[in-house]
């Protein structure tokens, strides 16, 4: 009854303007939304639709023009016979699994340090964020030097302390290149996750922490029982963003190893680039099919992560 | 609290954005004045102001010809092409030629991209991905427009594509695979060069072992930014065994590698690898760097390299070139057991040029290329680049009088004549399919030399991707 009264009262007291009540200003809405929608349509929807379209076609030049021939699902069936794709997919999935998990743990730990104002926390805040400002190409080049077998700082350091046997040809082996790529990309991007975590921590009301201390909680207990549970929504976002980032990371791999040697550090993004532009063929159909498959897998992956985290939160 | 903790980071972001907007290099674009714009892998843009100021281009009413060329980091080759352009423009005041210099890989991507997109293509370009481009109908036939008689005998056939009528490109230079050695290191290690400049297959392995045990790499070679340098010793020894023409079939994916000859060469390659043939930085060193590794750092005993070596090495030391006082010497290819073609040299056309079908001025573009094929430019090419020219010239009559300082490289030419004089330079052409290039790169440019694959795995990998 009380609610009804309030509603009636608010209706009666609604300000009367020149417009009729309930009619939306479609003209203004269109004008404000149109630029974003046009941009979105041209640069997101159209390429996406084109990729789906090309994935069902073979494209070959003939008589000075590109001829597009419908081939149905042929490109998709070829993917399942493509060993390089499976190696690239395996590497990317490994990266998509390990990378976000490590990034999340490290980002939370470092954000906690800054949040609790450890000595030099202001310096750390800037230092840990700075790598994100460096271009992926530059990062790739610098780490190529760092991991140089002869004079790279890693091997020089190992040799200096008498660990010569651990001075490896990091970028030229079967087993190490993908891990180097994962590490370098982590170094380059963890600052972003760190900042998001720090923002998440900063948004938690200080009173909750104070209440925990008053109730006799230690710092570790407060972190475990108050801060971490409240940080979960931010963590979910960070995890998903990080996962998506790894699934289509390109620059660092391209410059650091170019997917080599023999595709041992190949990722799906670099393989698509090679198939689309690097090989002596003009066919964009097959790389488009790979992109479509990978798009689907990424969406599924994001969905699974969200569902898993939601289930854990509810459980 | 949030604002306070993120404040320095926000300042950093804003500062970085401001910096990047101020420092962002201009997109590679041609300039209206006679400046040369080079586009390299790192989008490094360098402007070379010519000594003599030239009138700005384009002029109203002039025919504009755009030209994309490889060789951004090879000043001598650029100088030849720029001289041709300058002379052509002087002779044809109604034509303006705007040239952009690129590194090889991004140029290939760019030409393919603009042709696929159907817009933005240059009129003339380096002959990247030629067979596919010709099959696509994107390259004009030069058959009736070039003075083919001005080329050295037999070269034209090497530029023709099997099964395709016409001739679509030409190279101003010729590349012949050679083998250099550092005489100081050889003397120091007591390695004696045979009188016929030829080690046998087994002797060569011993030479590499001697070098390696003294801390030198057998050869300066690496695959950091190219997909072929480790193929040089394989090419040379395959030519030795099966001849250039047959070797080319292996190289472009038309012949199975599961043959006794190929196995012999790959077996020898693994012996060389185990003996210490390749530098420890083989996987990351770039093509420019391994030149320096040989001539300046002198960390390797030998260098397999085609005759484009001077393009990178015979420039000033400040630009990464070698000292003119470093007089390396040359060897013939190691003599493989059972060699049937020990007198043949691996030879091929260098990068060349083509006219793209999208040009608005096909006759002018073809005429510019024909203009280049004059004896005086053949002589200029040789004089400036120290790379053999494909264009015939009279060394007395056509030799440029205004090129100074070339006598410092005289020893190089004398050494070539001494070691390779009288040998048969055999051309072969053809471009492998994409699948095979990738397999070849993985198998014998990276896998076998680094011990990542066995011989059987390498053969299996390449044979699975043979071109149809």
| Same domain (yes/no): B310, B446 | yes
Q: Is residue B29 part of a domain?
A: no
Q: Is residue A140 part of a domain?
A: yes
Residues in B closer than 8 angstroms to A158, CB to CB, are: none
Q: Is residue B263 part of a domain?
A: yes
Give residue B10's pLDDT: 47
Q: Is residue A134 part of a domain?
A: yes
- Distance of alpha carbon B37 from alpha carbon B72, whole angstroms: 9
Enumerate the H helices of chain A as residue ranges: 2-12, 26-40, 46-54, 74-79, 83-115, 121-129, 136-146, 153-160, 177-202, 206-214, 219-222, 228-247, 251-256, 268-273, 285-314
Mutate to test the interface with B, among A169, A261, A284 (most CBs of B within 10 A): A261
How much is the mean pLDDT over chain A?
87
Q: Is residue A200 part of a domain?
A: yes
Q: Is residue A286 part of a domain?
A: yes
How many beta carbons lie within 10 A of that of residue A7, not counting itself?
A: 10
- Distance of alpha carbon B202 from alpha carbon B214, whole angstroms: 19
- DSSP 3-state of B347: strand
- Distance of alpha carbon B324 from alpha carbon B347, whole angstroms: 26
Domain count, chain A: 1
Q: Is residue A41 part of a domain?
A: no
Q: Determine contact, residues A218/A232, Cβ cutoff 8 Å.
A: no
**B438:A279 CB<8 A:** yes
Structural domain for B372, as ranges: 35-148+352-400
**A65:B137 CB<8 A:** yes
Structural domain for A88, as ranges: 74-314
Give residue B178's pLDDT: 96
**A262:B433 CB<8 A:** no
Written as tens digits, the pLDDT of chain B (468 aa) is 444 444 554 444 444 443 333 333 333 333 323 333 333 332 332 333 233 334 445 556 789 999 999 998 888 899 999 999 999 999 999 999 999 999 888 898 899 888 888 889 999 999 988 888 888 889 999 999 999 999 988 788 778 776 788 999 999 998 899 999 999 999 999 999 999 999 999 999 999 999 999 999 999 999 988 889 999 999 999 999 999 999 999 998 999 999 999 999 999 999 999 999 999 889 889 899 999 999 999 999 999 999 989 988 998 888 889 998 999 999 999 999 999 999 999 988 888 999 999 999 999 999 999 999 999 999 999 999 999 899 999 988 998 988 877 788 889 999 999 999 989 988 887 767 778 888 999 999 999 999 999 999 999 999 999 987
**A274:B116 CB<8 A:** no
Enumerate the H helices of B257-388 as residue ranges: 260-275, 287-295, 309-313, 362-372, 375-385
- Chain A closest CA to B315's CA: distance in Å? 25
Structure tokens that stand for A119 in this block: 């000595």
Q: Is residue A66 part of a domain?
A: no
Between chain A and chain B, how many beta carbons pairs sit less than 8 Å apart?
114
- Distance of alpha carbon A37 from alpha carbon A263, whole angstroms: 39
Mutate to test the interface with B, among A190, A260, A274 (most CBs of B within 10 A): A260
pTM of this prediction exceeds 0.80: no
Structure tokens that stand for A214 in this block: 């008053």
DSSP B72: T
Q: Determine contact, residues A272/A85, Cβ cutoff 8 Å.
A: no
Domain count, chain B: 2
- Chain A closest CA to B59's CA: distance in Å? 31
- Chain A closest CA to B218's CA: distance in Å? 16
Q: Is residue B421 part of a domain?
A: yes
Residue A219 reports pLDDT greater than 80: yes
- Distance of alpha carbon A269 from alpha carbon A251, whole angstroms: 9
| Same domain (yes/no): B191, B339 | yes
| Same domain (yes/no): B81, B191 | no
Q: Is residue B6 part of a domain?
A: no
**A61:B135 CB<8 A:** yes
For residue A189, what is the domain's CATH number? 1.10.3720.10
Q: Determine contact, residues B164/B315, Cβ cutoff 8 Å.
A: no
Q: Terminus-to-terminus CA distance in chain B, angstroms?
A: 67
| Same domain (yes/no): B303, B425 | yes
- Chain A closest CA to B3's CA: distance in Å? 9
DSSP B407: G
Q: Is A90 on the interface with B (CB under 8 A)?
A: no
DSSP A15: P
How many beta carbons lie within 10 A of that of residue A176, not counting itself?
A: 17
For residue B273, what is the domain's CATH number? 3.40.190.10
Contacts of A111 (CB under 8 A, 6+ apart): A194, A197, A198, A200, A201
**A171:B112 CB<8 A:** no
Q: Is residue B11 part of a domain?
A: no
| Same domain (yes/no): B232, B262 | yes
| Same domain (yes/no): B198, B288 | yes
Q: Is residue A157 part of a domain?
A: yes
Q: Is residue A232 part of a domain?
A: yes
B444, burial (CB in 10 Å: exposed 0-12, middle 13-18, buried 19+) = buried
Q: Is residue B97 part of a domain?
A: yes
Which chain A residue is nearest to residue B286, measuring alpha carbons? Answer: A144
Q: What angle do CA B259, B263, B266 make, to 5 degrees?
A: 145
Residues in A closer than 8 angstroms to B5, CB to CB, are: 114-115, 125, 198-199, 202
| Same domain (yes/no): B218, B82 | no
Q: Is residue B159 part of a domain?
A: no
Q: Please name the residues between 134 and 173 in chain A that touch chain B, using a CB distance below 8 Å.
A: 137, 144, 147-150, 169, 171-173
| Same domain (yes/no): B209, B131 | no
Across the range A30-41, mean pLDDT stands at 94
Give residue B129's pLDDT: 83
- Distance of alpha carbon A182 from alpha carbon A189, whole angstroms: 11
- Distance of alpha carbon A77 from alpha carbon A110, whole angstroms: 45
- Chain B closest CA to A217's CA: distance in Å? 23
- Tens digit of pLDDT for each residue in A290-305? 999 999 999 998 888 8
**B442:A260 CB<8 A:** yes
| Same domain (yes/no): B198, B250 | yes
Structure tokens that stand for A75 in this block: 């490109």
- Distance of alpha carbon A179 from alpha carbon A167, whole angstroms: 15
| Beta-strand relationship, A57-62 and A65-70 | antiparallel
Q: Is residue B95 part of a domain?
A: yes
Residues in B closer than 8 angstroms to A280, CB to CB, are: 129, 131-132, 431-434, 437
| Same domain (yes/no): B274, B197 | yes
Question: What are phi and psi for residue A162, nearest 5 degrees?
Answer: 80, 15
DSSP B318: G
Sign of CA dihedral A158, A120, A105, A250: negative
| Same domain (yes/no): B395, B424 | no
Give residue A315's pLDDT: 61
| Same domain (yes/no): B94, B221 | no
């Amino acid at each position: 009854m009380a609610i009804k009264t309030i509603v009636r009262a608010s209706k009666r007291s609604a300000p009367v303007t020149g417009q009729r009540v309930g009619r939306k200003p479609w003209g203004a809405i269109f004008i404000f939304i149109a630029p974003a929608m046009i941009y979105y349509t041209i640069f997101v929807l159209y390429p996406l639709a084109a990729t789906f379209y090309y994935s069902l076609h073979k494209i070959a030049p003939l008589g000075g023009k590109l001829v597009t021939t419908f081939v149905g699902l042929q490109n998709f069936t070829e993917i399942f016979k493509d060993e390089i794709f499976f190696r690239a997919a395996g590497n990317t999935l490994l990266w998509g699994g390990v990378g976000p998990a490590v990034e999340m743990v490290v980002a939370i730990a470092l954000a906690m340090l800054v949040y609790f104002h450890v000595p030099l926390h202001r310096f750390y805040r800037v230092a840990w964020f700075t790598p994100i400002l460096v271009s992926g190409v530059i990062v790739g080049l610098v780490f190529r030097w760092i991991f140089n077998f002869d004079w790279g700082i890693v091997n020089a350091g190992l040799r200096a302390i008498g660990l010569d046997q651990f001075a490896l040809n990091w970028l030229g082996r079967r087993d190490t290149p993908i891990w180097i790529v994962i590490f370098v990309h982590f170094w380059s991007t963890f600052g972003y996750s760190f900042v998001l975590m720090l923002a998440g921590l900063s948004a938690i009301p200080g009173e909750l922490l104070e209440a925990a201390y008053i109730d006799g909680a230690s710092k570790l207990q407060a972190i475990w029982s108050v801060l971490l549970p409240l940080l979960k929504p931010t963590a979910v976002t960070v995890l998903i963003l990080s996962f998506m980032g790894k699934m289509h990371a390109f620059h660092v791999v391209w410059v650091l190893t170019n997917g080599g040697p023999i595709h041992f550090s190949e990722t799906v993004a670099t393989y698509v680039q090679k198939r689309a532009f690097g090989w002596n063929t003009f066919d964009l159909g097959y790389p488009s099919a790979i992109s479509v498959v990978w798009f689907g897998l990424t969406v599924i992956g994001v969905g699974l992560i969200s569902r898993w985290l939601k289930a854990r939160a509810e459980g | 609290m949030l604002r306070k903790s993120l404040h320095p980071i926000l300042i950093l972001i804003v500062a970085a954005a401001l910096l990047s907007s101020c420092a962002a290099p201009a997109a590679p674009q041609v300039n209206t004045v006679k400046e040369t714009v080079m586009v390299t892998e790192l989008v490094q843009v360098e402007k070379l102001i010519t000594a003599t100021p030239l009138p700005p281009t384009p002029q109203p009413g002039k025919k504009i010809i755009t030209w994309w060329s490889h060789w951004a980091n090879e000043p001598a080759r650029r100088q030849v092409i720029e001289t041709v352009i300058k002379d052509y423009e002087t002779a044809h005041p109604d034509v303006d030629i705007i040239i952009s210099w690129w590194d090889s890989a991004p140029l290939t991507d760019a030409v393919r991209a603009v042709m696929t997109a159907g817009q933005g293509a240059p009129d003339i370009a380096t002959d990247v991905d030629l067979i596919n481009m010709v099959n696509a109908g994107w390259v004009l036939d030069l058959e009736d427009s070039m003075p083919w008689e001005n080329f050295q005998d037999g070269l034209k056939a090497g530029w023709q594509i099997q099964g395709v009528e016409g001739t679509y490109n030409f190279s101003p230079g010729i590349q012949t695979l050679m083998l250099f050695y550092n005489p100081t290191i050889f003397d120091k290690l007591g390695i004696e060069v045979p009188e016929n400049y030829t080690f046998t297959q087994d002797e060569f392995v011993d030479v590499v072992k001697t070098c390696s045990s003294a801390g030198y790499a057998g050869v300066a070679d690496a695959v950091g930014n190219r997909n072929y340098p480790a193929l040089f010793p394989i090419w040379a020894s395959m030519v030795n065994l099966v001849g250039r023409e047959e070797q080319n079939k292996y190289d472009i994916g038309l012949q199975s590698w599961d043959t006794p000859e190929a196995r012999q060469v790959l077996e020898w390659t693994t012996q060389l690898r185990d003996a210490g043939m390749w530098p420890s930085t083989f996987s990351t060193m770039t093509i420019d760097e391994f030149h320096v590794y040989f001539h300046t750092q002198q960390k390797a005993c030998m260098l397999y390299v085609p005759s484009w070596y001077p393009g990178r090495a015979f420039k000033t030391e400040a630009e990464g070139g070698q000292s003119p006082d470093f007089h390396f010497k040359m060897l013939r290819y190691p003599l493989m057991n059972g060699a049937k073609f020990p007198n043949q040299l691996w030879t091929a056309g260098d990068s060349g040029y083509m006219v793209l079908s999208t040009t608005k001025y096909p006759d002018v573009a073809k005429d510019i290329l024909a203009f280049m094929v004059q004896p005086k430019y053949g002589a200029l090419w040789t004089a400036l680049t120290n790379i053999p020219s494909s264009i015939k010239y009279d060394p007395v009559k056509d030799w440029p009088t205004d090129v100074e300082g070339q006598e410092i490289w005289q020893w190089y030419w004398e050494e070539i004549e001494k070691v390779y004089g009288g040998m048969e330079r055999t051309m072969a052409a053809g471009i492998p399919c994409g699948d095979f290039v990738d397999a070849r790169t993985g198998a014998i440019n990276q896998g076998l030399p680094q011990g990542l694959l066995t011989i059987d795995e390498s053969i299996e990998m390449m044979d699975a991707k043979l071109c149809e």
